[in-house]
Amino acid sequence: MKIVTYNINGIGARLQNLLRWLTERTPDVVCLQELKAPQEKFPEAAIREAGYGVIWHGQKSWNGVAILSRGCEPSELRRVLPGDPEDAHSRYIEATVRGIKIGCIYLPNGNPYPGPKFDYKLRWLGRLLTHAAELAASPMPVVLAGDFNIIPTEKDVYKPERWVNDALFRIEVREAFVRLASQGWTDAVRTLHPDATIYTFWDFFRDAYRRDAGLRIDHLLLNPALRGRLRAAGVDRDVRGWEKPSDHAPTWIELSE
């Protein structure tokens, strides 16, 4: 069973790209972020025709998350991260799919640092830690997958010294990632590839993909009830080289049944 997280960066502009990738790679579960589409403009019919059940939480212009499931319907559990009724961003959706609880995350970017956007990121992280503690302790298998906008360590960025005051690499944010791990979450890709240089994002400019000037910011975290089923993990980095690509690449895990 293959579970993938993919920041699509505008599902309107990326639909053909997405459908090709679904057809070629046939992932079982897909967590999408940055739909950049209002609820009513999500291309539901095209995705269902490709053989996927789907739930989504759209928003005009920005954000937006979705969970796709091949051959069955995701069973929605929530479409908001608890803890702040004032938060109007579409950044979280959670469902049960084939006996696994899936939390699809689009964490705030937080730049520029310092400032209100960074403060919002830290508040969002606080809420995530609260919710994640419950999920980590659950006897049910859970994966938290998404664009975390967190570079966990120096190994996960092409030139760490350039990023020390960036909201993706600030110490507060990396410490939050460590706190997640201490709740029992396993960073699937890093666990299976402890020494490899692995990126999931390359900027659109400065020829970043060709230079391999990337970041590892898309993650799949497994709770203790699930981690024993982890068989493989990786990044479909060639997809970043397709026509009209997102700046992120699909990042995946393979689980035993």
Partner DNA sequence: ATGCCGTGGAAACCACGA
Query: Can residue 244 be called a binding residue for DNA (CB under 7 A)?
Result: yes
Catalytic residue list contains 166? no
Which of 140, 10, 137 is CA-nearest to residue 64?
10
Query: Can residue 78 be called a binding residue for DNA (CB under 7 A)?
Result: no
Query: Can residue 186 be called a binding residue for DNA (CB under 7 A)?
Result: no
Query: Can residue 205 be called a binding residue for DNA (CB under 7 A)?
Result: yes
CB 25 within 8 A of CB 51: no
Query: Can residue 13 be called a binding residue for DNA (CB under 7 A)?
Result: yes
| Residues ≥6 apart with Cβ < 8 Å to 8 | 14, 18, 32, 33, 34, 35, 246, 248
| Contact pick of 94, 147, 156, 236 for DNA (by CB under 7 A) | 147
Catalytic residue list contains 6? no
Query: Can residue 168 be called a binding residue for DNA (CB under 7 A)?
Result: yes
Of the residues 28, 147, 187, 236, only one is catalytic, namely 147
Query: Can residue 114 be called a binding residue for DNA (CB under 7 A)?
Result: no
Query: Can residue 117 be called a binding residue for DNA (CB under 7 A)?
Result: yes
Helix, strand, coil in percent for the chain, rounding step 5: 30, 25, 40
Dihedral of the CA atoms 106, 110, 112, 117 (nearest 10)?
110
Of the residues 6, 52, 92, 106, only one is catalytic, namely 106
Q: How many beta carbons lie within 10 A of that of residue 88, not counting itself?
A: 10
Measured distance CA(70)–CA(77) in Å, rounded: 18
Query: Can residue 10 be called a binding residue for DNA (CB under 7 A)?
Result: yes
Number of residues that bind DNA (CB under 7 A): 35
For strands 251-255 and 2-7, give the pairing. Answer: antiparallel
Query: Can residue 6 be called a binding residue for DNA (CB under 7 A)?
Result: no
Identity of the residue, 36 or 131, whose beta carbon is nearer to DNA in the bound complex: 36
R_g (Cα) of the chain, nearest Å: 17
For strands 218-222 and 214-215, give the pairing. Answer: unpaired
Identity of the residue, 68 or 142, whose beta carbon is nearer to DNA in the bound complex: 68
**Which of the residues are catalytic?**
106, 147
Instruction: By CB under 7 A, name the binding residues for DNA.
Output: 7, 9-14, 34, 36-38, 41, 60-62, 108-109, 111-112, 117, 147, 149, 166-168, 201, 203-206, 215, 217, 244, 247-248
